[in-house]
Amino acid sequence: MSRLERLIDRYADHISTPWPEGRSGIERVIFIVYAPAEELRLRVHIDELGRRTREAGHGWLHLDLTDAFPRWMAAHRYRDKYFRRPELMSGYREGRLTEFTTDLVQTTCDRISAATPNDVVALSGMGTLFGVSSVSELVERCAPVVPGRLVVFFPGEVENHNYRLLDARDGWGYMAHAINADGT
């Protein structure tokens, strides 16, 4: 069995267990953690994860954020100025564009509003946020809005609840449930 097949099976086992009521937003977040090199292979199987979720009796709402930044930038009235001088964007030096992140959170939360308490909201495209936004801020601000479960496809690693996107040196502590192919 391949690593990806094990990851899918571990997710299916987890999502099919009964969902306790009264959990906080952070307690309803699930990170599917995989090596960044497996991103394209995993994307091919996102529909399989949706099918397994529906087989477990839950709804599936997949939000792909891959092109969120290019769409935001293309629609921005100052895009030409920002392309010439990106340092003018608030948060540029820190790799977290403040205005984009605010818009991303709002847009994502608006799309999540269609979910029910029995639904899984799945976010993919997290790697494309590296250097322009913050996955941790997106998850922390959107998790309370998700009435069911929030699943985050996370290309990186986790160790002792410390998540590192794209295996970056710095990470952040987060108490979500992590699923990976190794069972750790």
The domain tally of the chain equals 1
Mean pLDDT of 138-161: 91
Within a domain: residue 173?
yes
Give every CB contact of residue 179 below 8 A, 6+ residues apart in sequence.
7, 10, 11, 14, 30, 31, 32, 33
The answer on pLDDT for 31 being more than 60 is yes
Continuous segment of H or E residues that includes residue 11: helix 3-15
28 versus 78: which is more confidently predicted?
28
Q: What is the CATH number of the domain that holds 80?
A: 3.40.50
Within a domain: residue 148?
yes
The answer on pLDDT for 160 being more than 80 is no
pLDDT in tens, 62-116: 999 999 999 988 998 877 777 777 777 787 778 788 999 999 999 999 999 989 9
* CB 3 within 8 Å of CB 38: yes
Sign of CA dihedral 146, 60, 154, 176: positive
pLDDT at 112: 95
Mean pLDDT of 154-180: 74
- Residue 13 to residue 151: CA distance in whole angstroms: 14
Pick from 163, 184, 153: nearest CA to 38: 153
pLDDT in tens, 36-52: 999 999 999 999 999 99
Within a domain: residue 56?
yes
Domain span including residue 165: 3-17+24-179
Within a domain: residue 184?
no
Q: How far is CA 110 from CA 14, 31, 74, 103, 124, in A?
A: 27, 21, 20, 10, 16
pLDDT at 164: 75
Mean pLDDT of 160-179: 70
pLDDT in tens, 123-135: 999 999 988 998 9
Count of beta carbons in the 10 Å neighbourhood of residue 36: 14
Q: Please indicate, yes or no, whether the overall pTM of this predicted structure exceeds 0.85.
A: yes
For residue 83, the one-letter residue type is: F
pLDDT at 7: 93
